[in-house]
Chain A
C-alpha cells in the first residue's frame, strides 16, 4: 500500500511539473512560490518576519492555495482526461490512489512552505545583519503542523468537490469559493487591521498559553482531517466513480 501511494505521488508530481509543457516551466513556477515566501516577503517585512508569528501565519495560505489547484486537477482533471478509469482498471486499491493524490498535493505544498520559511530565515540574516536569529521554535513548528493539517483538510474537501464536478475548472471554481469564505477573507481582515490592533493581537498571542492554543487547534484540525478522509475513502470507490 505504501509503495502504491508513493507511485501515485511520483506520477502526480511529474504531471504537475509538466502541466505547462516542460519540466523547466514547472520548476520555474515552484521557484516563484519559494522566492515569494523565502525572499520577497521577508525583505518586505524585515526582522519582523522572524519575530511576528502573525506574519507567517497569514502567509500559510500559500500551501493551501497550491493544494487546491493540484487536488482538483488530479481528481476531476484525471476523470475529465479519461485516465482515471484506466487507473481504476489496474490492481491498485482505491485507498492507495486517493491517498497518493491527496499526499502529492499536501506534501508538495507543505514542502514549498517549509523551504520558503527556511529560506526566509536565511534571507533575513543576510539582508539585515545583526545577531543570528531564527523563528520562535514553537511558532515555527506550530505553523508547519498547522499548514500541513490545513492543507490536508482542504485537499479532502477538494476531493469531495471534484467528485461532484464535471471538469477540473468547475471543481477549482467551487473550491475557490470555499477557500475565500473559510480562509482568505478572515486572513485579509487580519492583514488590514490597524497597526495598533495587530500589535495588540500579536502581543496577546505571545502571552497566551501557546501550547494549549496550538494543541486545541491541532486536535480540532486532526479530528476534521480524519473525518473528511473517511468520507473521501467511502466516496472514492470504483462503483461510485464509474458511470454509464
Chain B
C-alpha cells in the first residue's frame, strides 16, 4: 500500500505541476457547469437539476479522465521513465492502479464542482433551491468515480500496451466521437430522463462489473509489450 500511495502522491504532484492542465481542467469544468445550467437542457426543463447533473457529471468526469490519463500514462511512455520504473520493486499492476486512482480522483472532484455550479446557477435562475434527488447525489459521488476509474484503467491499459500511433488513433476514432455523443445527449435528451433509484442501482452494477473487467484485463499488462512499444 505504501508504494501505491507513493505513486498516487507523485502523480498528483505531476498533475498540479502542469499549470496548463490544471487551468484547462478547472475552466472546462466551470464552462460545462454553466453551459448546462444556462443553455440547452438547463433552459428547457423544470427547476429540478437532477437529469442534467446526471449527464453533466458523467461528461465532465469522463472527459477529464481522458485528459489526465494522457498526462500520466502516455507521457510516462513518451519520456521513457516507465522503463526505469519497471526495474524498480513496484509491480506493474500496482503502478497501473496508482495511476488509475490518481486520474479518477481529481476528475471526480472536478465533476462534483461542475455539478455543484450547475445546481447553484439553476437555483439562482429559478429563485428556489434546486436540490438534486438522492439518487443523483449518489450518482455523482459513487457512479461517476467508478466510471472515471474504469475509463482511466482502460485507457491506461491501452496506452501502456499499444504503440504511439495506435494510441493517437484511438483518441480520434473512439474517444472524441464518444464525448461528442455524450455531450449531444446531455443537451437533447437529459431533461426528459427521470433518474431514480433503479437507474442508480443499474449504473452502479454496470460500473462495478466494468471496473472488475478492467481490473482483470490489467493481468495482461506485460513489461515486454510496454518496452517494445516505447517510442
The finding on whether chains A and B are genuine partners in a shared complex, rather than unrelated, reads no
Residues of B in contact with A (beta carbons under 8 Å apart): none
Interface of A with B (CB < 8 Å)? none
